[in-house]
A and B are shown apart, each in its own frame.
Chain A
Amino acid sequence: MAECDAMNEQMPLLLTESLGREERERAHQHIENCAACAAEWKAYRATWSELGELPEVEVPARVKEQFLSTIGASRDSKVIPMRSRLAPGPRPSALPRWFAQAAAVVILVGGSYYAGNRTAPLRVLPSPATIQSVEQTPYSIAETRVLNASAISPNIEGRPNIQNVQFVDADASDNQIGVSFDVTSRVTVTGAPTDKSLVRLLSYVLERDNSTSPSRSNAIDWVRRTYSDPNHADPEIADALAKVLRNDTHEGVRIRAVETLKDMSPASSGTRDALIDALKNDPNPAVRIKALEALSNLAKAGTALDAKTIDTLRAKASQDDENPYVRVKAAELLSEIP
Chain B
Amino acid sequence: MTKTVSTIAVVLTLLGASSVTAARFTTERSSHTLTLLPGGMVVVENVSGNVRVTGTDTDSVVVNIERVFRANDPAGLVRAREATLTTAEGHEKLRVIRTVITATSPDFGSVVNYDLQVPRYARVRIGSKSADDITVTNIQGSVAVTNINGRITLGEVAGPVSVESINGSITFDAVSKPIAEARLTTINGNIELRVPSNASFTWIAQSMRPNYVTTFKSLAGRAVGPAYQAFVNGTKGPAFRTTAVMGSVALLRDGTKMSEAKRIFEEVRVTEMMMIAPARRIVRRPLIDGNLQFESSLGEVAVGEVRGSANVKMGAGEVQLGIVRGICDVVSLGGPLRFGDVTGRLNARTSAGDISIQSAREGGTITTGGGTIRLAHTGGPTRLQSGGGDIVVRQASAAVSADTRSGDIAITMDPSARSQRITAKTGKGNVLLNLNPAFGADVEVTILTSDPARDLLRSDFPLSIQREQVGGKTRIRAFGKINGGGERIELSSEEGGVQITSSSVPGTPSK
Do A and B bind?
yes
Which residues in A have some Cβ–Cβ distance to B below 8 Å? 212, 214, 217, 221, 249-252, 255-256, 283-289, 310, 314, 317-318, 320, 323-328, 331, 334-335, 337-338
Contact between A283 and B388, CB atoms less than 8 A apart: yes
Contact between A255 and B371, CB atoms less than 8 A apart: yes
Chain B contact residues: over half helix, strand or loop, or mixed?
loop
Q: Which of B167, B387, B430 contacts A334 (CB 8 A)?
A: B167
Assembled-state Cα–Cα distance A250/B404 (Å): 11
Contact between B408 and A317, CB atoms less than 8 A apart: no
Instruction: Please give me the residue from chain A that is nearest to B390 by CB atom.
Output: A252
| 25 CB-based A-B contacts, threshold 8 Å | A212-B496, A217-B390, A251-B370, A251-B405, A252-B404, A252-B429, A284-B389, A285-B351, A285-B370, A285-B387, A286-B352, A286-B353, A289-B371, A310-B148, A314-B166, A320-B206, A323-B316, A323-B351, A323-B352, A324-B316, A325-B335, A327-B208, A327-B316, A335-B187, A335-B188
Contact between B130 and A338, CB atoms less than 8 A apart: yes
Asked if B379 is an interface residue, CB under 8 A from chain A, the answer is no
> Across the interface, which residues of B come within 8 angstroms of A337, CB to CB?
148-149, 166-167
Contact mask B309-348 → A, CB, 8 Å, 1/0?
Answer: 0000001110000000000000011111000000000000
> Across the interface, which residues of B come within 8 angstroms of A328, CB to CB?
208, 246, 298, 316-317, 334
Contact between B245 and A318, CB atoms less than 8 A apart: yes
Q: Which of B166, B206, B429 contacts A250 (CB 8 A)?
A: B429
Contact between B388 and A284, CB atoms less than 8 A apart: yes
Instruction: Please give me the residue from chain A that is nearest to B388 by CB atom.
Output: A251
Instruction: Please give me the residue from chain B that is nearest to A304 by CB atom.
Output: B104
Instruction: Please give me the residue from chain A that is nearest to B225 by CB atom.
Output: A320
Per the 8 Å Cβ criterion, residues 366-403 of B in contact with A are: 368-372, 387-390
Shortest beta-carbon distance from A256 to chain B in Å: 8
Asked if B185 is an interface residue, CB under 8 A from chain A, the answer is yes
> Across the interface, which residues of B come within 8 angstroms of A324, CB to CB?
208, 297-298, 315-316, 333-334
Asked if B406 is an interface residue, CB under 8 A from chain A, the answer is yes
Contact between B372 and A255, CB atoms less than 8 A apart: yes
> Across the interface, which residues of B come within 8 angstroms of A214, CB to CB?
408, 430, 432, 497, 499
Instruction: Please give me the residue from chain B that is nearest to A330 by CB atom.
Output: B187
Instruction: Please give me the residue from chain A that is nearest to B409 by CB atom.
Output: A252
Output the residue of B149, B167, B370 with the most chain A CB within 10 A: B370
Q: Which of B246, B332, B405 contacts A331 (CB 8 A)?
A: B246
Instruction: Please give me the residue from chain A that is nearest to B368 by CB atom.
Output: A286
> Across the interface, which residues of B come within 8 angstroms of A286, CB to CB?
352-354, 368, 370-372, 388-389
Per the 8 Å Cβ criterion, residues 143-188 of B in contact with A are: 148-149, 164, 166-167, 185, 187-188
Assembled-state Cα–Cα distance A285/B166 (Å): 23
> Across the interface, which residues of B come within 8 angstroms of A288, CB to CB?
352
Assembled-state Cα–Cα distance A36/B458 (Å): 36
Contact between B243 and A318, CB atoms less than 8 A apart: yes
Assembled-state Cα–Cα distance A296/B416 (Å): 45
Instruction: Please give me the residue from chain A that is nearest to B243 by CB atom.
Output: A318
Assembled-state Cα–Cα distance A318/B208 (Å): 9
Instruction: Please give me the residue from chain A that is nearest to B392 by CB atom.
Output: A252
Assembled-state Cα–Cα distance A70/B333 (Å): 79
Q: Which of B246, B316, B499 contacts A325 (CB 8 A)?
A: B316
Asked if B428 is an interface residue, CB under 8 A from chain A, the answer is yes
> Across the interface, which residues of B come within 8 angstroms of A250, CB to CB?
406-407, 428-429
Known: A212-B495, A318-B187, A320-B226. A326 touches B428 (CB 8 A): no
> Across the interface, which residues of B come within 8 angstroms of A317, CB to CB?
187, 245-246
Assembled-state Cα–Cα distance A256/B406 (Å): 13
Instruction: Please give me the residue from chain B that is nearest to A252 by CB atom.
Output: B407
Assembled-state Cα–Cα distance A326/B352 (Å): 9
> Across the interface, which residues of A come within 8 angstroms of B372, CB to CB?
252, 255, 286
Contact mask B401-430 → A, CB, 8 Å, 1/0?
Answer: 000111110000000000000000000111
Instruction: Please give me the residue from chain A that is nearest to B336 by CB atom.
Output: A289
> Across the interface, which residues of B come within 8 angstroms of A323, CB to CB?
316, 333-334, 351-352, 369
Contact between B333 and A212, CB atoms less than 8 A apart: no
> Across the interface, which residues of B come within 8 angstroms of A325, CB to CB?
316-317, 332-335, 351-353
Instruction: Please give me the residue from chain B that is nearest to A293 by CB atom.
Output: B336
Per the 8 Å Cβ criterion, residues 297-314 of B in contact with A are: 297-298
Contact between A289 and B352, CB atoms less than 8 A apart: yes
Assembled-state Cα–Cα distance A251/B371 (Å): 9
Shortest beta-carbon distance from B402 to chain A in Å: 12
- Not counting A255-B371, A255-B390, a sample of 7 additional A-B residue pairs whose C-beta atoms are within 8 angstroms of each other reads A283-B388, A320-B225, A324-B298, A324-B316, A325-B352, A335-B246, A337-B167
Contact between A318 and B495, CB atoms less than 8 A apart: no
Assembled-state Cα–Cα distance A283/B407 (Å): 14
> Across the interface, which residues of A come within 8 angstroms of B389, CB to CB?
251-252, 255, 284, 286
Assembled-state Cα–Cα distance A330/B369 (Å): 19
Output the residue of B243, B245, B432 with the most chain A CB within 10 A: B245
> Across the interface, which residues of A come within 8 angstroms of B404, CB to CB?
251-252
